[in-house]
Structure 1
């Protein structure tokens, strides 16, 4: 006896839905993860670990002022606290900051370099969560100094040329800059609503894209160093993501930045390993899987899928694989392994392959927190 046509259609539809669900849950689902791998669990573990990490403790070196890896981890912990509504965590992260406003003010980096100015993203985030205007005052001062006239020992004649063209005097055309500059300027816009901050960051981003992006969407470490170094490219990927998620749709530079972002994401998709990682040198199969770059690329893809910039069926599975791969590199002390040590540029492939792989370096801890936040947005 034949089944009624409606019954057949129902069965077919249910089978299709079940198949799609299986595909999503197994590959591209960015909402459900195995126990121990959820963004809520991992983010809290890494954030709590950061709170007890001494200032200036970055990998194997200790610095006299707070530099960008600590800043980026602090910022990530704060955004995670906001997304989870964890006011206790926010309070702990604010308490870590309090001495910097008094007895430990010497740890606040001078706003004369991109690696120092990104620090402003932290007090600006604290202001948005606590409404304490002392944080706002400090964060705005740093963001404004970045676009002010050149001053201090780092100012050069070239700094004045960039300033006169309307770019930050701290411009140096290193790919790292496009996170350091855009993060603090985007935060200043979010905190104040003043478009000058994000508009100037967008103009700066386009100049960097036009100057440094290769036809395949990736970036050499520098014009004279033709290697696609993982974390360097990660800074660009994360910087474009941070900028685009807050850049007004009527900004004249949005389309160009989105083009640069999507071209990069499509290229990265080709180089992800079957385990979900990206390598120290992205396109070099002899290179080792590296966690800080992987974290930044995963963050960029999660952000793109969540905001509808990237096709979820194509990039969702890559983002999920990236996250689960990263979590597998966390040890019992909540330190992530195989983080490339701090790296200067050098026109030598072996130099990149031989970089030390550090456990717990904040270059790697930070993007874990960014990913956890992005998955929860």
Structure 2
């Protein structure tokens, strides 16, 4: 009898441990997505418009702030926190009055992604002015090339049916898809999601390597962490709204699943990914870790990825990620803003920033994704 009791106890303990390692709903005290997401979102509201690396405030809303704002709104909606939604809307209010000049001109992917913020506010509040602003930016992204940033290539891409803002940096695949997917969500007009899907396939064909990862750009043969993170998060963001009947769906899903399988092989024992994903000499980087976690959480939740394999990886990534949050609710070990350069040492030497919105944003995306059905 004692042996049977001991066996039952061991088996029960094993099952409980296994459950804890794979479950995406049960969390240790003060480590749940709802608790962490709420802290990071309120910290964002209390933070003035950031301009990391510079001593002066930005002249316009920067893309890291846009992505963090969008994440805070997603989290507020998924958690049903009306007080938080109201506070995030109040933060936006001066952009309709005293600070209209801070709305970026959408003539570049880094500026156009701002449109995802008013579109999410429209989804949450049903206020027409948010819709009008966001849709205008989404349409501008695919409109005829216009403004000082237009190049000969802009016209070439426009004639191909792509956005004239195409530049074949993997960062683009979040900036473009987040905006166009949002436009589709609020209009149900498949023109928007078709745009994003066609663009994504173009980038997959041009930049994804046989190992599933992506060079930063065609002339930069390095698997930079956050760049790949933008791609991973962008595919997840697109696929969660892309109709399965869409002619691009299969190709994008294949690219996404190939990338996820490769990322599994490069996740550290701690749960993080590195500044250069496949380079053991590089350091654990949190913005990419959050973005990869978001892509995996979304895949598990939607049944695109095997829960028994990717559930533990996503959980491990989340617990590792939040261990880098300091007492001020700022995430540490965020790669500073990065241009592209065909030089390995350039990427290894990038500064590690604390509190940069590049790192705050994916924490909120993850928290929202965990709360989705």
Distance in 2 between residues matched to 1:206 and 1:14, nearest whole Å? 51
The correspondence of residues 1-377 of structure 1 with structure 2, limited to 5 A, is 19-25=14-20, 27-58=21-52, 60=54, 62-377=57-372
In structure 2, how many angstroms separate the alpha carbons of the residues matched to 1:213 and 1:38? 34
Contact 1:341–1:358 (CA<8 Å) still a contact in 2?
yes
CA displacement, residues 229-278 of structure 1 (integer Å, 9 cap, x when unaligned)? 00000000000000000001110100000000000000000000000000
In 2, the alpha carbon distance for the partners of 1:127 and 1:112 equals 22
Per the TM alignment, residue 225 of structure 1 is displaced from its structure 2 partner at its CA by 1.1
Q: Which TM-score applies when normalising by structure 1?
A: 0.95
Shift of residue 130, structure 1, vs aligned partner:
0.3
After alignment, is 52-61 or 13-22 more displaced? Answer: 13-22
Q: 2: CA distance between counterparts of 1:241 and 1:248?
A: 13
CA distance in 1, matches of 2:114, 2:209: 29
Deviations 1:208-238 (A, max 9, x none): 0000000000001111111100000000000
Gaps of 5+ in 1: 2-7
In structure 2, the partner of 1:5 is: none
Cα gap change, 1:60 to 1:374, in 2 (>3 Å): farther
In 2, the alpha carbon distance for the partners of 1:113 and 1:341 equals 20
Could you say what the CA RMSD is over the residues aligned between the two structures, in angstroms? 1.8
- Normalised by the length of structure 2, the TM-score is 0.96
Change (3 A) 1:324 1:59: farther
Q: Counterpart in 2 of 1:4?
A: none
Say if 1:220 and 1:226, in contact at 8 Å, map to a contact too: yes
Alpha-carbon separation, structure 2, partners of 1:73 and 1:174: 21
Deviations 1:60-105, CA, capped at 9 Å, x for gaps: 5642111110000000000000011001000000000011011100
